[in-house]
Amino acid sequence: MTSEWYSASAPGKFVILGEHSVVYGKPAIVLAADRRISCSVRRSDCNTINGLPLDIEKQPHLRYLTRNTEYPLDVITTSDVPSGSGMGSSAALSAAMALAIQLEKGCTKTEKDFVDEAYGAEFFAQGGGSPMDASACVHGGGIAVNIPDDGCRELWSITRGDRTWRITDIPVPDMSFVIGNTGIRAPTGPQVDKVRRFSKKTTFAREIIDEIGDITIEGYHALKRGDKDILGRIMTRDHKLLSILGVSCKELNKLVNAALPYSYGAKLTGSGGGGCMVALTDNPEKVADAISSRGGTPYIIKSGSEGVRIENEPASGNALDIPMR
C-alpha cells in the first residue's frame, strides 16, 4: 500500500524555573527552543517506525496517540532534540505526531486539543507529570504555568485529579541561554516518582517544593523586568533546591559550576538525573567552551521558537531514538 505522507514538527523546550514543583500545581516558566522533532505518518499494511517493524504495545506514547487509529501506520521521526535530556523530546514527539495523525485523518483541531493529546501521551507513558512540556511544545514561544494573573493572555487550564494548571502566554525575553548536555539519558518518569516518594515521606521535601514555587514567581517578575542579575541568582538557587530533592547529579553539577563564572545563573533543566543544564549569560561562547571543557555538549539556544506546525516534506535527518517499554 502506498499512501500520502502527512508531516508535522514541534520544538523542544527548556525550563527556566519550576520543574518538579509544577507537578504539584506550583508555577513554572518554560521557553520553546530552536531545535525540533519532526514526524511523518501514512497508512500502511503494518506498523513501522523509521523503516523497522514497530510493536505499538511496547511504545506507550505511540500506543496512546494511535488508540483511535484503526489501521497500521508507517512512521518516520527525526530529531534535533536529544532524547532523555530534559529538553522535551517526548512532548515534542507527541505534539508532532498528534498533528500528523490528525492531518492524515483530515480532522481539524485546536492548540488545546493537541496539548490534551500530547499531555495524555506523556501521562500514559510516565504515570504522572504536568501539561507544562506539552503546552510549551504545542504553543511555542514562552509560557508560564500557574503564575498569578497579571494581565498576560491565558491559553488554557487543565485539571487532572485535584490539581489544575493555568497556562498563560508570556513575552519571549531578549536574553541569551546556553544548554549543556551531560550525555546521560534520564527518562522523566523515574525522576518524578523519586520526588513523589520523597514528598510523601517528609514535610521537608514538601517545603522545598513550596519554596521552588515561591522563587519561580520572583523569577517571573525579574524576567518581565529584564533583570538578568536577579533572574540568574534565582536560577542558581533553584538548582540548589532541586539538588536537595535529589534530582541533580555530579555530571550536572560539574557543568553548572563550569558555566557560573561566565553566567548570571545556571541550573539543571528538565527532570534531572542527567540530561541538561541551562545558563543565562551574555557570553554564550565562553559558556559553551566551559561546558565543552568539562565533557558536556553545548547548545547556544535561540528561545521562542514557533510551536507545532505542518511540514510540507516528509521527515528526514537524524532518526529519533524512541525509548521502548
Note the pLDDT tens digit of each residue in 100-144.
999 999 988 899 999 999 999 999 988 777 899 999 999 999 999
The pTM is what? 0.89
Give the model's pLDDT for residue 1.
Answer: 56
To the nearest whole percent, how much of the chain has pLDDT over 90? 74
Per residue in 202-250, pLDDT (tens digit) is 999 999 999 999 999 999 999 999 999 999 999 999 999 999 999 999 9
Per residue in 40-79, pLDDT (tens digit) is 999 999 999 999 998 988 889 999 999 999 999 999 999 9
Strands 52-53 and 28-43: unpaired
Give the model's pLDDT for residue 323.
Answer: 45
Instruction: Return the CATH architecture of domain 6-311.
Output: 2-Layer Sandwich (3.30)
